[in-house]
Amino acid sequence: MAIKKQRAVRRTDALSKERIVEAAIEILDSGGEGALTFRALAAHLATGSGAIYWHVANKDDLLAAATNDVIARVMADPAGGARPREAIRALALGLFDAIDVHPWVGTQLSRAPWLAAIPQIFEGFGSRLEELGVPEEAQFDATSTLVIHVLGVAGQNAANARLHAHRTDRTVFLGEIAQQWAQLDPARYPFVHRVAAQLPEHDDREQFLAGIDLILGGIGAAHPGPSSRT
Amino acid sequence: MAIKKQRAVRRTDALSKERIVEAAIEILDSGGEGALTFRALAAHLATGSGAIYWHVANKDDLLAAATNDVIARVMADPAGGARPREAIRALALGLFDAIDVHPWVGTQLSRAPWLAAIPQIFEGFGSRLEELGVPEEAQFDATSTLVIHVLGVAGQNAANARLHAHRTDRTVFLGEIAQQWAQLDPARYPFVHRVAAQLPEHDDREQFLAGIDLILGGIGAAHPGPSSRT
DNA sequence: ACCTGAACACCGTTCAAGT
DNA sequence: ACCTGAACACCGTTCAAGT
């Protein structure tokens, strides 16, 4: 009897915010940011486009919920008893990988600083810096720099993914940009010329981590704590 | 006669890509990103919306041209014979201020890494790092970290500006976010709680510069060159 | 060569009408 | 309470027609 009652209350095919968000994530992942329309979503859910508005305020609300979902999953990862420095690197890489799989998350994060995902990321980095012995006055700036680095790379990766969509290959795409850079006046752009050759083969993930390490190095240099002693 | 000929060739009211881009910048600055439509632009230029397509490929092309214009103006600034470290800080602040005045530039930069503005920014930072004595193998990662910081902050500022549009005050807006942060569970978000109080009054520009200094500090710690000796 | 403006395809969002 | 789907307002872009 209890089962019957539950079934009546919660039909298998009933619409809910969770189901809508889940479907939105599927569409975003498979078709990219441009593929998510209320019409496509309604078709995917076999309902009318207006029905979605009963569960979701508007498209921004939907994208926010989808983004928070993905980030919450990353933050729920243990990253266990690792030492703070390693925990920061692990968290950063976890975020990078999630955004790599869901490039649209990068767009959202760099467009909406009021998302619930943002304080989660702040907490993740900030509390580890506290453990590292960074003095309290310096924690806000240092944490913000780490967060900005993650969001900055997220935005660039999302932009790259938007072009990928219709391309064969990432290396081909970067090769085209490298070619444009190589065509600039070498007298005015000597550095860009030198770097253009490295562009197609460089590893985004490694460069992202190098940035994190540079920032951590700067924090350590400014505030030499017990754990950063060599 | 020469004058008459010139007048005939180049009527004062003739359409041109420059005039279109100029008008687009005016609309973006005064009305925000949402205000730039081909209809509004056509009305502003007293022409038909289709006429704009004779000079501009599409909206992305137009936004790219407007963004490149603004950035080129910043990069043209002397930043003269300053020592490399100061030149980097000056360049970073110049970019920050330009994006502060034209928040839509922030959106564009963090959405389109293939813009002509990007290699310009790379060159600006990269060549100074070379002067600073950063070894060649480390220049790409270090420059990219500085560029990402600028683009990351640019994206966040643009996002803030999008909300500002309908708000009285920046402090009020940040105050609302701070309040949301303060309502999170203090046991799970101890760091965010501590930092929430600093959010409304903190200076974005100073925090941006603190990030640049942190990165420069990390570069100096990793590659102690002649100029970073204390 | 350059401009005009109606037309097209496609959005997000609303809402009267249903169950 | 929840769903349907036509309708509305508004886009970017195209294109036949003009000069």
Whether A155 and B211 lie within 8 Å, measured CB to CB: no
Q: Which structure tokens are listed for B102? A: 């034209």
Which of A19-33, A153-167, B190-204 is least confident?
Answer: A153-167
Q: Tell me the nt nearest to B55, Cα to C1'.
A: C2
Task: Please name the member of A141, A152, A195 whose beta carbon is closest to the beta carbon of B151.
Answer: A152
Q: What is the pLDDT of residue A8?
A: 30
User: B163, B173 in Cβ contact below 8 A?
Assistant: yes
Whether B144 and A211 lie within 8 Å, measured CB to CB: yes
Mean pLDDT for chain A? 89
Confidence of residue A167 (pLDDT cuts 50, 70, 90): low
Number of Cβ atoms within 10 Å of the Cβ of B138: 15
What does the H/E/C string look like for B177-203? HHHHHHCCCCCCCHHHHHHHCCCCCCC
Length B110 CA → D16 C1' (Å): 39
pLDDT digits (tens, 9 = 90+) for A4-60: 333 333 334 689 999 999 999 999 999 999 999 999 999 999 999 999 999 999 999
Confidence of residue B82 (pLDDT cuts 50, 70, 90): confident
Q: What is the pLDDT of residue B112?
A: 87
pLDDT tops 60 at residue B4 = no
Task: Please tell me the distance from the alpha carbon of residue B107 to that of residue B99, in angstroms, as a whole number.
Answer: 9
Q: Which structure tokens are listed for A149? A: 């680095």
Interacting residues of A146 by C-beta distance below 8 A, sequence separation 6+: A88, A92, A125, A129, A212, A215
Write down which residues 31-60 in B have CB closer than 7 A to strand D: 36-40, 49-50, 53, 58-60
User: A202, B138 in Cβ contact below 8 A?
Assistant: no
pLDDT digits (tens, 9 = 90+) for B137-180: 999 999 999 999 999 999 999 998 887 765 557 778 888 899 99
Q: What is the pLDDT of residue B179?
A: 94
Partners of A202 on chain B (C-beta within 8 Å) are 140
| Better-predicted residue by pLDDT, B14 or A138 | A138
The answer for A202, left when phi > 0, alpha when psi is -120 to 50, beta otherwise, is beta
CA distance B124 to chain A (A): 9
**What b-and-e string marks burial along B98-131, b requiring 16 or more CB atoms within 10 Å of the CB?**
bbbebbbbbbbbbbbbbbebbbbbbbbbbbbbbe
Cα separation values, B72 from A104, B65, B77, B115, Å = 29, 10, 9, 12
Q: What is the pLDDT of residue A21?
A: 98
The percent of residues in chain A predicted with pLDDT above 70, rounded, is 88
Counted across chains A and B, CB pairs separated by less than 8 A come out at 176
The reply to whether A35 Cβ lies less than 7 angstroms from strand D is no
The percent of residues in chain B predicted with pLDDT above 90, rounded, is 77
Type and span of the H or E element at B72: helix B59-76
| Mutate: best of B195, B207, B212, partner A, most A CBs <10 A | B195
Task: Please tell me the distance from the alpha carbon of residue B117 to that of residue B43, in angstroms, as a whole number.
Answer: 29
The reply to whether B96 Cβ lies less than 7 angstroms from strand D is no
Q: Tell me the nt nearest to B53, Cα to C1'.
A: D13
Task: Please tell me the distance from the alpha carbon of residue B192 to that of residue B187, in angstroms, as a whole number.
Answer: 10
Identify the sign of the CA torsion B133, B138, B143, B149.
Answer: negative
Which amino acid makes up residue B99?
A: I
Q: What is the pLDDT of residue B166?
A: 59
Rounded to an integer, the average pLDDT of B112-119 is 92
Find which of A153-167, A169-183, B1-15 is predicted with most confidence, using mean pLDDT: A169-183
pLDDT tops 60 at residue A95 = yes
Which amino acid makes up residue B31?
A: G
Alpha helices (H) along chain A = 2-9, 17-31, 38-44, 49-55, 59-76, 84-101, 103-109, 117-132, 136-164, 170-182, 190-196, 204-222
pLDDT tops 60 at residue B2 = no
Q: What is the pLDDT of residue A4?
A: 31
Q: What is the pLDDT of residue B8?
A: 30
Task: Please tell me the distance from the alpha carbon of residue B127 to that of residue B134, in angstroms, as a whole number.
Answer: 10
Which residue is listed with tokens 């730039």? B36
Identify the sign of the CA torsion B165, B167, B168, B170.
Answer: negative
User: A48, A80 in Cβ contact below 8 A?
Assistant: no
Which of A92-96, A133-137, B24-28, B200-204 is least confident?
Answer: B200-204
Instruction: Tell me the DSSP string of A14-36.
Output: ---HHHHHHHHHHHHHHH-GGG-
Q: Please provide residue A198's backbone torsions phi and psi, each rounded to the nearest 5 degrees.
A: -80, -15
Task: Please name the member of A111, A143, A158 whose beta carbon is closest to the beta carbon of B159.
Answer: A111
The reply to whether A171 Cβ lies less than 7 angstroms from strand C is no
pLDDT tops 50 at residue A62 = yes
The reply to whether A80 Cβ lies less than 7 angstroms from strand D is no
Q: Tell me the nt nearest to B38, Cα to C1'.
A: D12
pLDDT digits (tens, 9 = 90+) for A107-128: 999 988 889 999 999 999 999 9
Task: Please tell me the distance from the alpha carbon of residue A96 to that of residue A162, in angstroms, as a whole number.
Answer: 17
pLDDT tops 80 at residue B230 = no
